[in-house]
Structure 1
């Protein structure tokens, strides 16, 4: 058994063998959404601390019929409350996105879906984040690997809900809530700057895995096997054998707290 190579922190690949940015135009106004179109990990401290943002607005976007379970959303609320310093509160809003018709989704397509449908953006001392639960799989899926979720900007991520449901519906598959919770929280770990992705490491614990050339390379995951940010944790969540939901390990918690989190 093997997990397919993780490309640098943008996506999480699951091996089926496991179950399987001229001149200035003075008339043009600044884009009010630009603060939410930055590099992955660049808003890590904004999430974790109350330095710049004292509240968080979480936009849960989904295609009708692909809404995450109520238990998953409750787990996510608890996850945020436990780790983020947001004294003015954390608000969840929901946005129903039209069904996609392009088949499997590539980055340009889900970025456009976000551009067409996102309503929550940073405003004053409120930070906003977009999570899209898609009705399609990733176009990078192939015969040996599947992508379950991707954090792709500072306040954006996609969860391939159709893929999660495919795994859950298999004989011996994990519960959908387990898959949704572990995948979503893992991707938020990347938004929070883990590992070594906007949140500095207090001590070295970034994992190495072979790259395309078979050479060990750092991959923005944790080298502690009991951690939510370990590269294989999301893959393990596809199995009904997982007992309990994984959490951040001691080294990742140390990093989060040093960068303003709880």
Structure 2
């Protein structure tokens, strides 16, 4: 009897240790959904590009007073994503106004804190969520129109859009929004060399995670307010063949 008891005790301990070492979820929570929205841009590229884990995409847009995005800009973003992502639906929620912060400039950490305070739409089973926030100040580090600050999150800097789209001969606000919204989402999709491997080397290493083709949507100047007007030729830039090949290599269209 004593030997049987000892054997039974040893088996019980072994089962407990095996369960702890595996790191797997327990039966009670194995079906719970979990997705990290606070990792680096580009790290969720395949989740956006393919329908392996998520068949649908929903995008939440929030803006500070005076900086509501145009419907044309959002519609153009939706068409761009529908063309490149394997999703049954791409839905952009009605833009929502949030209180103005009244700051002249914002750091990336400021933007992240604002998202944590205001964002309400997150990924759920079979639906991945992305997020845009449009703030009432400029970016603290450089003269940029937008940034991608998390794996599903982007920020636009409202005053810079007004600056670029004002004056005779300037591009329209709709065109500026279209380009910058698509450009920043390109970084979320892993471009350039930012989570998706390049099929051909086309990174402009002098300007970070950008394409070396000055006609490509992912060219660095399309996010810089001081260069935008000089490079914009009146046509909305598309992804070049190298960028498209990168997306298609991991399941995009």
Q: By how many angstroms is 1:64 displaced?
A: 2.6
Q: By how many angstroms is 1:34 displaced?
A: 5.8
Q: CA separation in 2, counterparts of 1:108 and 1:252?
A: 29
- What is the correspondence of 1:227-242 to structure 2 with a 5 Å cutoff? 227-235=216-224, 237-239=228-230, 242=233
Taking structure 2 as the reference length, what is the TM-score of the superposition?
0.81
- Asked if the contact 1:174/1:239 (under 8 Å) is kept, the reply is no
Q: Which residue of 2 aligns with 1:92?
A: 92
Q: Which residue of 1 aligns with 2:54?
A: 53
Taking structure 1 as the reference length, what is the TM-score of the superposition?
0.78
- Which has the higher relative contact order, 1 or 2, with Cα contacts under 8 A spaced 6 or more apart? 1
SS at match of 1:54: strand
**Which range moved further: 233-242 or 187-196?**
233-242
The number of residue pairs the alignment matches comes to: 219
- Asked if the contact 2:147/2:184 (under 8 Å) is kept, the reply is yes
Q: Which residue of 2 aligns with 1:166?
A: 163
Look at both structures and tell me which one has the larger radius of gyration over its CA atoms. Answer: 2
Would the alpha carbon gap of residues 124 and 158 (structure 1) be closer, same or farther in structure 2, given more than 3 Å must change?
A: same
Structure 2 gaps of 5+ residues are: 1-32
Superposed structure 1 runs of 4+ greater than 2 Å apart: 170-173, 232-241
Aligned match of 2:196 in 196, 199, 221? Answer: 199
- Asked if the contact 1:133/1:158 (under 8 Å) is kept, the reply is yes
SS at match of 2:154: strand
Q: Which residue of 2 aligns with 1:244?
A: 235
User: Does residue 219 of the first structure (1) align with residue 208 of the second (2)?
Assistant: yes
**Which range moved further: 113-122 or 162-171?**
162-171
Query: Hey, which of these two has a bigger chunk of helix by percent?
Result: 2
Q: Which residue of 2 aligns with 1:118?
A: 119
